[in-house]
Amino acid sequence: MAAHLVRPARLPMRTASPLAAAWRPATQSRISARQSPMLQTAVRYKSGPYGYTQAKALVFSKTGEPADVLSVHTHSISPSVPPSAVLLRTLAAPVNPADVNTVQGTYGAKPTFSSLIGTAEPSSVPGSEACFEVVSVGSGVTTLKRGDWALPASPGLGTWRTHAIVEDADTALVGISKDKLEGLTPEAAATSTVNPCTAWRMLRDYVDLVELSVRSGTGAGAWFLQNGANSGVGRAAIQLGKLWGLRSINVVRARDTPEATAALKQELTDLGATVVITEDELQERGFSSGRLRKELMGGESEKESPLLLALNCVGGRPALGLAKCLSDGGKMVTYGAMAKQPLTIPAGLLIFRDLSFHGFWFSRWGKVDPAGRRQTVETVLDLMRTGKFKPGPADTVEWTWDTPAETLQQAVAGTLDGFRSGKGIFVFKDT
């Protein structure tokens, strides 16, 4: 990309809005060496408080498939940061399935479109998670300092961009002081605000499994079940369950070869899973009434070890198979629908088994209890620092100033494809 000098900060802005004044389209903030005899070479300014910051963002102005609607927009950010705002440089930003669904227009939260960063038509920046570096701080900000890291305190910030101005920074961001970065990586911190927190709340808010462990009198932890066990939430639930002394029955899809399936089972076992089975095994006739307890749960009875909690992110027949394993009075919590199939519940499970079915969306929970959300994130970060919680495998995509738009589009489009080696994460270099 051709480099340019940017317009000095002392030139007047055309808007009275402090936040809007911090953003300028790149085409309005460049001058060339021909326009000034003092400018001998072209330079692209990077982040800093003494000149406009050139930035890039993935944007979309209408919903649709990522490859069709996403484009890269270049703009400039004024060094005049509003009093309650901060200027951030993105270090890492995950590509979650929910982000892709938002671009497609199929997610529960619909995107909002604006021309704040100077796009030709109102657009939205996708992305719900990220780890940022604080570059410049407004005079009224009290919780963040330059050099700190920061995470979104709630979804909707728009994180697939090299830089961002964030208003109301004290409430919009969770800060990580620069003296508390040891033990953290940008990739790990960037993935701490959704999946681990979702697992945490589902394991704690529906059934008191810790109390159930005490009441059992067996000296062993209570059990829970889950499908999608190799997902980000699934891996988090395995680790948190182990930390809390719980035992888990984990369901995964079989891989292309028996060897690959065995490797995945071993990987989750090493992470702390008690039992790992495939969806095919779960669907075997008589599994819930026979093999489950006799073989996998060591012969423990319903009275000794009731199965009262199941976590479902798949839907369809795999979810029904999970429900059949629950003890009377058990609860299934659904937080995803990867199979894109409805969850059909026989009346008998409701009438004779007294099972109950719940939906959980961490974004909604966080809006109801923002302080609880922040506390959960901070606790997960503490576990990461001490090595008690490990982020899932990552499939990183470097984002430099010269990374082609097609590379970024493909990284997003491939998020929902089949088996993946890890979560897609944009890692920002030289921006």
Catalytic positions, written as ranges: 107
Place of tokens 């060339």: 32
Note whether 192 and 151 are within 8 A (CB).
Answer: yes
Say if residue 309 is exposed, middle or buried (CB neighbours under 10 Å; 0-12, 13-18, 19+). Answer: buried
Q: Provide the edge-to-edge strand list for the sheet that holds 275-278.
A: 275-278, 247-252, 223-226, 307-312, 331-334, 356-359
Note whether 222 and 203 are within 8 A (CB).
Answer: no
| Burial per residue of 98-129, b for 16 or more beta-carbon CB atoms within 10 angstroms, e otherwise | bbbbbbeeebeeebebeebbbbeeebbbbbbb
Distant-in-sequence, close-in-space partners of 428: CB < 8 Å, separation ≥ 6: 89, 90, 91, 92, 93, 162, 398, 399, 400
Cβ atoms within 10 A of the Cβ of 5, count? 21
In angstroms, rounded to a whole number, what is the distance separating the alpha carbons of residues 311 and 203?
A: 9
Q: Give the helix/strand (H/E) hosting 49.
A: none
Place of tokens 């719900």: 128
By C-alpha distance, which of 34, 6, 150 is closest to 86? 150
Which amino acid is present at 339? A
Note whether 384 and 183 are within 8 A (CB).
Answer: yes
Alpha carbon dihedral 175, 177, 183, 187, in 10-degree steps, equals 40
Give, as one character, the DSSP assignment of residue 389: S
Which is it for the CA torsion 292, 297, 303, 305, positive or negative?
A: negative
Note whether 408 and 424 are within 8 A (CB).
Answer: no
Note whether 90 and 398 are within 8 A (CB).
Answer: no
Report helix angle 405-413 to 97-104, nearest 10.
Answer: 100
Alpha carbon dihedral 113, 118, 119, 124, in 10-degree steps, equals -30
